[in-house]
A and B are shown apart, each in its own frame.
Chain A
Amino acid sequence: SAVISQKPSRDICQRGTSLTIQCQVDSQVTMMFWYRQQPGQSLTLIATANQGSEATYESGFVIDKFPISRPNLTFSTLTVSNMSPEDSSIYLCSVGTGSGELFFGEGSRLTVL
C-alpha cells in the first residue's frame, strides 16, 4: 500500500483564520479523498480530490469553506477556511485503489479556539 504523509499532524488555530493541510503520497494514485472525523465520531467524506479539475464535494461541504487542490497524482491540499470551534476535528487524507480499498494518512488534528 502507498505511504501517505500528512502535515501538520496537529495545530491549534484562532477563530476566523485558515489552515492548509498537505497530503503527500509516495506513488501516483488516481483517487484521493479528504475525510473529517469529529471527536468520538465516524468518518465523513468531505470531497474527492480530482487531479486537474475541481474537487467533488459531498452534501454539506462547500468549496468556499474547504477549498481543495490536486496539482498532480501524488499531492493534495485541503484548506479549512474562516475556522470556528465547530471545525475542531481530525482531517484525514486517503487514497483509493478504485475497487474500494482505502488507505489513510495519519490525520491532522485541528483545534480551533
Chain B
Amino acid sequence: GENVEQHPSTLSVQEGDSAVIKCTYSDSASNYFPWYKQELGKRPQLIIDIRSNVGEKKDQRIAVTLNKTAKHFSLHITETQPEDSAVYFCAAYSGGYQKVTFGTGTKLQVIP
C-alpha cells in the first residue's frame, strides 16, 4: 500500500517568514495530493490540492509543488501569520485503491 512520509514534524517561523513542508510518497499510481490544516480541537480542513498532471498550484499565500519523478510534493506558505499556526497533513490518493493515506503531520508555529 501507499506510504507517505512528512517532514519536518515541527516547524517554528517568525511572522512574515515563509514555511515549507515536504512529503514523499511511495505508490507511483497515486494521482491526487491534498493538504489539510487542523487547528487545535477542530476537524481537518482541505486547504489546497494538486493532481498528478500539474506541477504547481497556488492560492494566495499558499502553494503546492509536485515532482512525480521523485515522488515528492511540498507545501509553501509565504508571509506567514499567527493564524497559520496549526498541524498540517499531506496526503496521497490512489484511484485504484480509492483510499487516502495521510502523512504524519507538521506542527507549524508562527511566532508574532
Q: Is the CB–CB distance between A31 and B98 below 8 Å?
A: yes
Q: Which residues of A contact B44 (CB under 8 A)?
A: 43, 92, 104
**How distant is the Cα of A92 from the Cα of B95 in the complex, in angstroms?**
22
Q: Is the CB–CB distance between A42 and B95 below 8 Å?
A: no
Which of the candidate stretches B12-20, B70-78, B99-107 sits at the interface with the other chain? B99-107
Q: Which residues of B contact A100 (CB under 8 A)?
A: 31-32, 34, 49, 93, 95, 100
Residue from B43, B93, B103 in contact with A104 in the complex, judged by beta carbons closer than 8 Å: B43
Q: Which residues of B contact A (CB under 8 A)?
A: 31-32, 34, 42-46, 49, 89, 91, 93, 95, 98-105
Q: Is the CB–CB distance between A101 and B43 below 8 Å?
A: no
| Inter-chain CB contacts under 8 Å: number | 47
17 A-B pairs within 8 Å (CB atoms) are namely A41-B104, A42-B105, A43-B44, A43-B89, A44-B102, A45-B100, A92-B43, A99-B95, A100-B32, A100-B34, A100-B49, A100-B100, A101-B49, A103-B46, A104-B43, A106-B42, A106-B43
Nearest CB on A from B38, distance (A): 9
**How distant is the Cα of A59 from the Cα of B100 in the complex, in angstroms?**
14
Q: Is the CB–CB distance between A45 and B99 below 8 Å?
A: yes
Nearest CB on A from B62, distance (A): 17
Q: Is the CB–CB distance between A101 and B89 below 8 Å?
A: no
CB interface residues, A 60-113, toward B, < 8 Å = 92, 96, 98-107
